Amino acid sequence: MKIYKTKNYEEMSRKAAHIISAQVTLKPDSVLGLATGSTPIGTYENLVKWYEDGDLDFSGITTVNLDEYKGLPRDNDQSYYYFMHHHLFDHVNIPDGRTHLPDGTKEDSDQECRQYEELIQSLGGVDLQLLGLGHNGHIGFNEPDDIFPDDTHCVNLQERTIEANKRFFASADEVPRQAYTMGIGTIMRAKKILIVVSGADKADTVKEAFFGPITPKVPASILQLHPDVTLVADEAALSKID
């Protein structure tokens, strides 16, 4: 695992964007695995700016997203479909039909998860997967569990995840209780993984996930076994690491 320590969130975002930019430049037909949440927003802002400046071309890129809430229509401003279009897709030249997310409106969970997993495989897998890190060590919506789930699946969200996400909704009651997410196996099959973390509130989780035992109770700990992982984190997030 390569670790880059940055001074703050802004520097973390630029560093992560440079890594993604290098991937796009060196392999213009890359399949990018993308993440949502507050942490990657600055990374996307940098990518959009560099595209607008003429320094990046996304015309050959295909994307697959980690996850999506179950039950939210795509025009809901809290859906991850809406998030990705607002922060990235509507501002760069990724062709129509080449951005993919699980469809949260599909009620047949098994069918939707199977189709999404087959889609990823049909694209040849993910070249670079971007991840954030949840307070309980989750990646995507893979919550602490007794096992590492393999493929794309439907998950019941834990209360801590619901609590962390309720700030985006009018109340905690409006936060969906289920989500579709890539499995740990799906994530681990990506050729490269880039994980971004910011803030002192994530410091204990960083220590557990990347310097503690590998356990499904801390899902991100499995990343210690991946051959090509880059962690970009600010000083606050790395403050518990010697």
Which of the residues are catalytic? 67, 136, 138, 143
229 DSSP β-pair partners? 193
Task: For residue 152, give Cα distances in angstroms to 3, 25, 233.
Answer: 28, 29, 27
Using a 10 angstrom Cβ sphere, with 0-12 exposed, 13-18 middle and 19 or more buried, the burial of residue 44 is: buried
Chain-centroid distance, C-alpha 158: 18
- DSSP letter for 27, please: -
The separation between CA 129 and the C-alpha centre of its own chain, rounded to angstroms, equals 7
Q: Hey, what amino acid is at 100?
A: H
Contact 90, 52 (CB under 8 A): no
Dihedral over Cα of 136, 149, 116, 63: its sign: positive
Tally of CB atoms within 10 A around 199: 18
Query: What tokens does 166 get?
Result: 């309720």
How far apart are the C-alpha atoms of 32 and 30, rounded to whole Å?
Answer: 6
Cβ(232)–Cβ(225) under 8 Å?
A: no
